[in-house]
């Protein structure tokens, strides 16, 4: 059985060759054009990044190396005693383009568990932060501090060859993924349950099994399984989303993977991106408070209009690329549908009813290009139902997950020798001149 590093060693030369051929044969081929609206409109739709692990189709949603979410659910190994794919099997797929065997997944789980403990100074650093500091800010601080022991940075200082970049990047990336649950769980404990003991990492458990145990939910099999699904499907969403793009940009300066990913976390922390899952719960609970127990479609509709008329966005709806309901939303809804207990939960029912009403309201409102729910519309309600009610924490779980895709790109960008990212910008005057010339 080959390890992850050995598997990558085998496949990297062919990919390097493929990219070399692409550049040689099609370096000058035009694949799109740049309009002024792209430049002033957040680069929406611009084909401008190389990202191998996943591609987002506007209608169909995400595919990871060609596999849809249901394909992954059917083929990626789960944890012993569970059904949902594990984070490490998704990481293997993203990194290698191959479905790992059970044995390969177990070996990776053990490696992650063995590397999962935090250096004492990082523990102290996290413990010194004020409880009132947002959990996402704390997560970024903890992750950035791990660069104290970066293999990539140490090797760069010594003077490594470009061909060696990817192996040191991989070492840091695996170490980062391994340590994220311990950082994230420590933040949860410190902020919300300061009297709880954090259990030691169990070397026989998968990454998310350990994360759930450290959060204090190890005894809740259903929640642990939900977290496995959640973390696997939030792992990557092609390269242009704000967090992935940030990790890639910062990594392109040869900053090490820890600080590159810390930067990405602060992009994820914005309400138009990952913080939307916190905002959804806040908004749905405010709706529940206003509507009371008798939740009707009409009352939900009225509440959505009230939010829109106050000039705010409906969190969990719309997307920069997607033009249909997000298949991640559907996978999480299916998880609820399969369990009568979840299906009858008031918060889950309310979120579901909202998703049945909101698209029509948003269509009538007429602004958003995509009136359908994205993953954040539903991701928090199962956590809430199972007692993980501290919704300011929800984006941290997204942050544990998004590392899977970001580290994959960091390894491959170094293996493929991708250059510093540095697009050209223009002033309004210069754009006006350019536009007139045409």
Q: Of 129, 135, 126, 132, which Cα lies nearest the Cα of 392?
A: 135
Q: Of these, 150, 167, 241, 345, which contacts ligand MLT (CB under 6 A)?
A: 241
Ramachandran quadrant class, 413 (left: phi over 0; alpha: psi -120 to 50; beta: rest): alpha
Annotation marks residue 326 as catalytic: no
Which of 104, 355, 374, 395 touches ligand NMX by CB under 6 A?
A: 374
Smallest gap from residue 3 Cβ to ligand NMX (A): 32
402 and 234 Cβ atoms separated by less than 8 Å? yes
CA gap 253, 338 in Å, rounded: 46
Catalytic: which of 168, 273, 326, 385? 273
H/E stretch holding 56: strand 54-57
For ligand NMX (CB under 6 A), the number of binding residues is: 21
Q: Which of 248, 319, 385, 414 binds ligand NMX (CB under 6 A)?
A: 319
The yes-or-no answer on residue 245 being catalytic is: no
**Exactly one of 375, 407, 410, 411 binds ligand NMX (CB under 6 A); which one?**
375
Q: Is-catalytic flag, 376?
A: yes
Instruction: Name which position in 140, 216, 320, 327 contacts ligand MLT (CB under 6 A).
Output: 320
Nearest residue to ligand MLT, by Cβ distance, number only: 241
HSE, side-chain direction, 13 A CA sphere, residue 346: 11
Interhelix angle 165-192/257-268, rounded to 10 degrees, is 50
Please state the closest distance from residue 375 (CB atom) to ligand MLT, in A.
Answer: 6
Q: Is 313 in the site for ligand NMX (CB under 6 A)?
A: yes
Phi/psi at 78 (5° precision):
-100, 180
Q: Which of ligand NMX, ligand MLT, none does 316 bind, CB closer than 5 to 8 A by kind?
A: ligand NMX
Chain centroid to CA 347? 24
| CB closer to ligand NMX, 198 vs 313 | 313
Distance CA 69, CA 234 (A): 11
Q: Which two tokens stand for residue 203?
A: 């070397």
Q: Which is nearer to ligand NMX, 61 or 100 (CB)?
A: 61
Query: What is d(CA 365, CA 305) in angstroms, rounded to the nearest whole number?
Result: 8
327 binds ligand MLT per the rule CB under 6 A? no
Interface with ligand MLT, residue 374, by CB under 6 A:
yes
Which of 234, 245, 319, 385 is the catalytic position? 319
Dihedral sign of CA atoms 247, 253, 256, 259 in order: negative
Which residues of this chain interact with ligand MLT, rule CB under 6 A?
A: 237, 241, 320-321, 374
Q: What are the residue numbers of the active site?
A: 273, 319, 376
Which residues of this chain interact with ligand NMX, rule CB under 6 A?
A: 44, 272-274, 276, 308, 313-320, 367-370, 374-376
């Amino acid at each position: 059985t080959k390890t992850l590093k050995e598997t990558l060693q085998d496949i990297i030369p062919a990919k390097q060759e493929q990219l070399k051929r692409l550049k040689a044969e099609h370096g000058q081929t035009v694949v799109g054009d740049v309009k002024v609206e792209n430049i002033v409109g957040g680069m929406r739709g611009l084909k401008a990044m190389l990202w191998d692990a996943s591609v987002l189709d506007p209608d169909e949603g995400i595919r990871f190396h060609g596999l849809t979410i249901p394909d992954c659910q059917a083929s990626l190994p789960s944890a012993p005693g569970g059904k949902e794919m594990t984070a490490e099997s998704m990481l293997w797929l993203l990194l290698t383009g191959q479905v790992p065997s059970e044995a390969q997944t177990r070996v990776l789980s053990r490696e992650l568990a063995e590397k999962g403990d935090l250096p004492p100074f990082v523990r102290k650093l996290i413990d010194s932060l004020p409880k009132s500091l947002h959990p996402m800010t704390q997560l970024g601080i903890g992750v950035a501090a791990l660069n104290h022991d970066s293999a990539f940075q140490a090797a760069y200082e010594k003077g490594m060859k470009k061909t060696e970049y990817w192996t040191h990047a991989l070492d840091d990336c695996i170490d980062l993924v391994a340590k994220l649950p311990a950082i994230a769980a420590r933040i949860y404990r410190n902020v919300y349950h300061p009297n709880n003991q954090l259990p030691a990492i169990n070397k026989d458990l998968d990454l998310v099994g350990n994360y759930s145990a450290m959060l204090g939910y190890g005894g809740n099999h259903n929640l642990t399984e939900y977290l496995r699904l959640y973390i696997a499907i939030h792992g990557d969403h092609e390269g242009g989303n704000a967090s992935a793009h940030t990790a890639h940009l910062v990594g392109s300066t040869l900053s090490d993977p820890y600080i590159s990913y810390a930067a990405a976390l602060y992009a994820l922390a914005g309400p138009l991106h990952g913080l939307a899952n916190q905002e959804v719960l806040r908004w749905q609970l405010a709706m529940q408070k206003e509507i009371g127990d008798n939740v009707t479609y009409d009352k939900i509709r009225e509440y959505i209009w009230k939010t829109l008329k106050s000039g705010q966005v409906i969190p969990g709806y719309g997307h920069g690329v997607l033009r249909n309901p997000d298949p991640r939303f559907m996978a999480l809804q299916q998880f609820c549908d399969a369990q009568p207990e979840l299906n009858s939960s008031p918060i889950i029912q309310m979120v579901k009813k909202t998703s049945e009403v909101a698209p029509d309201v948003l269509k009538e409102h007429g602004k958003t290009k995509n009136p359908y729910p994205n993953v954040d519309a539903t991701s928090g309600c199962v956590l809430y139902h199972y007692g993980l009610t501290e919704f300011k924490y929800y984006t941290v779980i997204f942050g544990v997950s998004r590392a899977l895709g970001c580290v994959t790109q960091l390894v491959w960008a170094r293996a493929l020798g991708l250059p510093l990212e540095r697009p050209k910008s223009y002033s309004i005057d210069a754009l006006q001149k350019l536009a007139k010339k045409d």
